[in-house]
Structure 1
Amino acid sequence: MKYRNNIGALLITGTLIISCASNPYAPTNRVHKKQAKALSKELKVLPPPSPGTTAKYNYAEDWVGTTNFSLRRPNLVVIHHTAQNSVDQTLKTFTLPRTQVSSHYVIGRNGEVYHMLNDLYRAWHAGNGQWGSNTDINSASIGIELDNNGFEEFSPLQMASLLNLLEDLKTKYKIPAANFIGHSDIAPTRKNDPNRTFPWKLLALKGFGLWYDEPIDIIGEPVEGSSTAVGIEPSEFGSVSNDSTPSPNSISQNPELLDVSPRVALKIIGYDVTDLPAAIKAFKLHFIQTEVDTTLTDYDLKVLNNLYKKYL
């Protein structure tokens, strides 16, 4: 009997060794579990530590814990492209402490989903950015990285997995449709992901993000490559150091195309308009895509006018 028990123990041990050896991320998984355990201990400190002699507050003698609370819930989803050459490269980047970057999910080109962090933890995916009045995007959002070098189209399998994931997140956390956005939307001066091939219209039709009503009815269709800026004053652009800077002669005399100024419309949608040209470019990357620059054509203004009302 003892011999059989020893054999059983050896088989179990061997299975565990093989299982660990088959996962190249077993060492970083152990670090993950250790950090999660440390955070859970921090949450369980009851009552809070007694204030020291340098306490700024007049604490009551008795601690009273409320019975009405829950975990914080994410209210934004930020979609990225990895700007790397493979999903393995991205997974390695997100498991190296020195990189200081992470994401809740990574979706490979073949549709495989890597859930790297509990949704209720704060991932480090957004960096400095703003959406509306929210300037701490990491604390309010779920980050999703799509394996893509930044120039190629997103694969059908990848998009199918993304849509399934978004449906689950929207249902689970009751995330508003307007709160599915891209990295470039929250950080227009720094980021351009997901790239211009990303199918934002498809996502909006599925309930993830907003889209404008089509067709946009204007006299004259936009001409690809046009750099005519319309409906704005030259001062609205600030300083633009490229050949898309509008000249005074290129300003349209059609203010009726937009009910409010571009700055106000973009701000209502959620963009940080401190750098207006960057905000315009981010808006066009998301909603226009065929012509991503810092100018607004007649068509762009009609789109903007139609769209900002949906965010009111």
Structure 2
Amino acid sequence: MKYSLFLFGVMLLVWSCGTPKKTVLQAPKPILVQPDTVKLEASRENLIDTRQVLDTLFGAAEVPVVLTTEDRVREMMREGINKNADWTEAMHYDVRKPNFVIIHHTAQTSINQTIRTFQLPHTKVSSHYVIGRDGQVVQMLNDYLRSWHAGRSKWGSITDMNSVSLGIELDNNGKEPFSELQIRSLLVLLDTLKTKYSIPFTNFLGHADIAPTRKDDPSAFFPWKRLAEQGFGVWYDEYNLQMPPENFNYVDALRIIGYDVSNLRSTIIAFKRKFIATDTSETLTDYDKRVLYNLYKRYF
């Protein structure tokens, strides 16, 4: 019995002095958290609100509407020129207030060529507007800036027409009629400018009116009568043409209308190109004198 107890004690001592077993740590199982349905829906609502705010601030993305040239002309007739004109900048100008509109033809082959001409440093020429054959209107200078379109010119007592006028160039080579779309766009533009700056109807002129010794634009194809019927420029009453009195001085009449008569031959040609069109000789016929007399009496 004593021996058994002794043996049990020895075994217990050996076991207690042995190397303890290492404990292996187990990674905790992940806890699955279900999303909070209320918070998730709130986040979605917040996302929608943010998009609405961005759309309000910067405008929602829209597919651009591509208009044909004819549609653009119709929009200009409804809304005015300033909302629909394209813009590209010229580089030659000064500042002034407009009171005249001077109409030109480009004598070039395309609107792009004209725009390029107005953007070259060495050309020293520019215009406020260019109108293409398809009715496209391109504005190249702010209306209050003094463009370099008139050159050496005179009308009445004004010897610096650039300082008082807006220049409009029509894409035309001077040898063919002006397109209907081009004239329609021009009429819209003229109406806009006349209304905006209170330009008198008598102050819508051609380049040849103010520079008869140098220029012949716009050509005899230009529809001055149609413009006058819309309130842009003057025209005679073809149903009430009377022979002027014997003491009628046609040179004084031309001068009073506004023409520079220092070179009478060139002035008569410019006058006839505009008002007679079918005859641009340097001599005033009896019919020409009737037209001149009628204009003189009607407006001056």
Q: TM-score range by the shorter chain?
A: 0.5 to 0.7
Q: % of aligned pairs identical?
A: 60
Larger Rg: 2
Whichever residue aligns with residue 212 of structure 1, its letter is Y
The residue aligned with 1:215 is 239
TM-score (norm 1): 0.65
Deviation of 1:217 (Å): 4.1
TM-score (norm 2): 0.68
| Shift >4 Å, 4+ stretches | none
TM alignment of 1:163-182, pairs within 5 A = 163-182=187-206
Whichever residue aligns with residue 271 of structure 1, its letter is Y
Whichever residue aligns with residue 77 of structure 1, its letter is V
Q: Pick one of 151, 164, 177 that aligns with 1:127.
A: 151
Whichever residue aligns with residue 203 of structure 1, its letter is L
Q: Pick one of 286, 295, 298 that aligns with 2:274.
A: 286
> How many aligned residue pairs are there?
213
RMSD: 2.0
Deviations 1:123-158 (A, max 9, x none): 000000100100000000000000001111000000
Give 3-state SS (helix, strand or coil) of 1:97's partner: coil
The residue aligned with 1:192 is 216
Q: Pick one of 289, 293, 297 that aligns with 1:301.
A: 289
2:244·2:289 contact (CA, 8 Å) conserved in 1? no
Return the alpha-carbon distance in structure 2 between the equivalents of residues 121 and 308 of structure 1.
33
Return the alpha-carbon distance in structure 2 between the equivalents of residues 106 and 84 of structure 1.
12
Return the alpha-carbon distance in structure 1 between the equivalents of residues 187 and 247 of structure 2.
34
Unaligned runs of 5+ in 1: 1-27, 40-70, 219-253
Return the alpha-carbon distance in structure 1 between the equivalents of residues 96 and 147 of structure 2.
14
Q: Pick one of 266, 269, 275 that aligns with 2:254.
A: 266
Is 2:172 aligned against 1:154? Answer: no
Give 3-state SS (helix, strand or coil) of 2:168's partner: strand
Give 3-state SS (helix, strand or coil) of 2:146's partner: coil
Whichever residue aligns with residue 297 of structure 1, its letter is T
1:102·1:123 contact (CA, 8 Å) conserved in 2? yes
Return the alpha-carbon distance in structure 1 between the equivalents of residues 241 and 98 of structure 2.
37
Deviation of 1:259 (Å): 5.4
Whichever residue aligns with residue 292 of structure 1, its letter is T
Structure 2 CA distance for partners of 1:259 and 1:163, relative to 1, 3 Å = farther
The residue aligned with 1:92 is 116
Return the alpha-carbon distance in structure 2 between the equivalents of residues 259 and 174 of structure 1.
36
Return the alpha-carbon distance in structure 1 between the equivalents of residues 244 and 275 of structure 2.
21
Unaligned runs of 5+ in 2: 1-87
Deviation of 1:72 (Å): 4.7
